[in-house]
Each structure stands twice: as structure tokens, then as C-alpha cells.
Amino acid sequence: MSYQVVVTFDLVDASSEQYRCVRGELSSMGLYSFVIGSNDRTIDLPHNTFQGDMYGSSSGELRDSIRNRMVEAFRRCGVTGPIFVTVGGDDWTWGTTGV
């Protein structure tokens, strides 16, 4: 089944190089800092928020897999901080507003 995965995180005392490392790790997982909206318009997500469309056997299995992969990515990049993962199923939607 197809799911939309959204992750957000904070990095504790990380350098700009470590941020780049984490962004690269997330990109290799299929998680990006933008979404493609209607009319193929690219919409940038808030800082440290990434999303991707992924397949999995269940939302819980996918959540745990992404969370574990993020923990390993944080370790490879030498960073610490909280990670929040959400997985949307059949009837997910999103919206954006700039203020």
C-alpha cells in the first residue's frame, strides 16, 4: 500500500556540514524538503521537515522502518536530537500556507 511519510526533527548543536549529511541521508531514503503541488508547483517545506511517498505493508511497519533508518542516519552523521515520524494512509491530504 502507498503511504505519505512526513518526518521532522531537531539537531542538537549540529554544524552546517552535519545538517547537509542528514539531508543527504534522508534524500537517499526518498524523503525530500519539498512537495510537488497542483500544476507541478514545487512547495518548500518548513525547516527540518521532509516527506516522501512510500510503499509498505502497514503504516506502523513503515513508521518503525523510517524511524530506525533515521536513527542510523543520525549516528552516521554524528548528530543527536528528537525525531518525529508520521505516516498517512488511504485518505491523506496536505495543505500549506505562508504567513
Q: List average pLDDT for each run of 10 residues in the chain, which is 99 residues long.
A: 92 96 97 89 93 91 93 97 89 61
Q: Report residue 82: phi and psi, to 5°.
A: -75, 145
pTM, to two decimals: 0.87
Sign for the pseudo-dihedral over CA of 67, 72, 77, 79: positive
In percent, the amount of the chain with pLDDT more than 70 equals 91
What is the Cα–Cα distance from 29 to 6, expressed in whole angstroms?
12
pLDDT at position 79, please? 97
pLDDT at position 78, please? 97
What is the Cα–Cα distance from 42 to 36, expressed in whole angstroms?
5
Residue 16 has a CB neighbour count (10 Å cut-off) of 7
Q: Let me know if domain 2-88 sits in CATH 3.30.70.
A: yes
Pull the grid cell for residue 82.
528528537
